Amino acid sequence: MTTVTLDTNVFPAEPLIARAQRLGMAVAAVTVSHREVQGSSLEEEVCALESVFETAVWDESKWDQATWGTPADNERLERVLALLSNRSFPPPERRDQLFDGQRRQLRDAMILCAHLRANREILVSNDRRAFINYGRRQAIEAEFGTRVMTVEEFEAYLSEHERRAAV
């Protein structure tokens, strides 16, 4: 079964989710996304999906929606932060007052890290700046062995699987 994680920015996504599930794919959202849509019209749709718990990050995670990390999880978070920020993210000892853009980068990294920790196969995101541009997609795929797709690319992927299933 193919496992797919949807980033917050792809919602609303009901038709996309339905297509993937008809093909037997397991579709989930990370608890970071649950927090980001809380109180919005998207909350019900996001929270209805399987939840991938984020690895707890101090001063960011909600403790009932996160899991304790290991030293390997911490190392992976640092590698992902370095990759997504082109090595410009503040070191751990200087993260007590992040700017809004840095906080968004941290959340992007948390989503990717939760996806990776859960050994999921495809991350779907329209956040080209974080996950695709500047060689980031290739670097993520090479270093972590997961696929990154935009919604448009994932729709083409689904169409190919639907075509194969019809034969």
Q: What is the mean pLDDT of residues 27-41?
A: 85
Each residue's pLDDT tens digit, 72-85: 988 999 999 999 99
Q: pTM higher than 0.75 for the full model? A: yes
For 112, the domain range is 3-166
Q: Which of 27-31, 38-42, 127-131, 134-138 has the lowest mean pLDDT?
A: 38-42
Tell me the C-alpha to C-alpha distance, in Å, between residue 32 and each of 22, 135, 160, 161.
26, 24, 30, 29
Total domain count, the chain: 1
- Cβ count within 10 A of residue 162: 12
Q: Which residues contact 124 (CB under 8 A, 6 or more apart)?
A: 4, 5, 6, 7, 10, 16, 149, 150, 151, 154
CATH code where residue 21 lies: 3.40.50
Strands 26-30 and 54-55: unpaired
Each residue's pLDDT tens digit, 130-150: 999 999 999 999 999 999 999
4 pLDDT exceeds 90?
yes
**Preceding omega of 90 cis (within 30 degrees of 0):** no
pLDDT band per the 50, 70, 90 thresholds, residue 33? confident
CB 119 within 8 A of CB 52: no
- Please provide the size of the chain in residues: 167
Which residue type, as a one-letter code, is found at position 162? Answer: E
